[in-house]
Amino acid sequence: MKKNEKIMIGILVLITIIGGVVFAKTEIWQKVKNVTTGETKKKQSMVDNSNEDYSLEKAVENGYFVIGHNKIYNKDKLDKFIENTSINSKNRIEDSIKIVQYTTEGDPIITELSYKIKDETYLISEKPVNKTTYTLKVDNTRDKWSTQEDRKIITNDDIPGDIYGITETKEGDMVSIDLSLYAEIDYIDENVKRYEAINICSYPSNTKQEEDLSFYGRVIESHQKYILVEPNEDEEIRKSADKIEISLEENSDAIYKVGTNVKITYKGYVMESYPAKVVATNIEIKSTDKFEIRFYDKHPQSETKVCKILDKSETDKYDYNIYTYEGTANILINKEEISLRDALLNNKITMNEIIEKANQDLKDKKITGDMYRDGGSMIYQYKNYTIIKCHTIDGNRDVYIGIPELTINDLEI
Can you spell out the DSSP letters for 218-241?
Answer: EEEEE-SSEEEEEE-TT-GGGGT-
What pLDDT, on a 0 to 100 scale, did the predictor assign at position 279? Answer: 82
What pLDDT, on a 0 to 100 scale, did the predictor assign at position 37? Answer: 38
Residues in contact with 53: Cβ distance below 8 Å, sequence separation at least 6, in sequence order: none
What pLDDT, on a 0 to 100 scale, did the predictor assign at position 412? Answer: 80
**How does 10-39 read in b/e, with b if 16+ C-beta sit within 10 Å?**
eeebeeebeeeeeeeeeebeebbeebbeee
Domain boundaries along the sequence of the chain = 42-181+199-209, 213-285, 291-410
What pLDDT, on a 0 to 100 scale, did the predictor assign at position 325? Answer: 95
Residues in contact with 246: Cβ distance below 8 Å, sequence separation at least 6, in sequence order: 226, 227, 228, 229, 264, 277, 278, 280, 283
* Domain formed by 213-285, architecture: Beta Barrel (2.40)
Q: Which residues pair with 97 in a beta bridge?
A: 113
Q: Each residue's pLDDT tens digit in the chain (413 positions)?
A: 443 433 333 333 333 322 322 222 223 233 333 333 344 455 655 445 567 889 888 888 888 999 988 889 888 899 999 999 988 777 889 999 999 999 988 899 999 999 999 988 888 778 888 889 999 999 999 998 888 888 899 999 889 888 899 999 988 889 999 999 887 777 777 777 778 899 999 999 888 777 778 899 999 999 888 999 999 888 889 988 999 999 887 655 667 888 888 999 887 778 778 898 888 888 888 877 789 999 998 765 667 889 999 999 998 888 999 999 999 999 998 788 999 999 999 888 889 889 989 999 999 999 999 999 999 999 999 999 999 999 999 999 999 999 999 999 999 87
Looking at residue 314, the DSSP 8-state letter turns out to be G
What pLDDT, on a 0 to 100 scale, did the predictor assign at position 334? Answer: 76
What pLDDT, on a 0 to 100 scale, did the predictor assign at position 42? Answer: 58
Is residue 23 within 8 Å of residue 188, measured between CB atoms?
no
Can you spell out the DSSP letters for 134-166?
Answer: EEEEEE-TT-TTS-GGG--EEEEEEEETTTEEE
What pLDDT, on a 0 to 100 scale, did the predictor assign at position 407? Answer: 95
User: Exposed, middle or buried: residue 413 (CB in 10 Å: 0-12, 13-18, 19+)?
Assistant: middle
Is residue 141 within 8 Å of residue 153, measured between CB atoms?
yes
What pLDDT, on a 0 to 100 scale, did the predictor assign at position 253? Answer: 60
What pLDDT, on a 0 to 100 scale, did the predictor assign at position 20? Answer: 29
What pLDDT, on a 0 to 100 scale, did the predictor assign at position 302? Answer: 60
What pLDDT, on a 0 to 100 scale, did the predictor assign at position 155? Answer: 94
Helix (H, G, I), strand (E, B) or coil at 106: coil
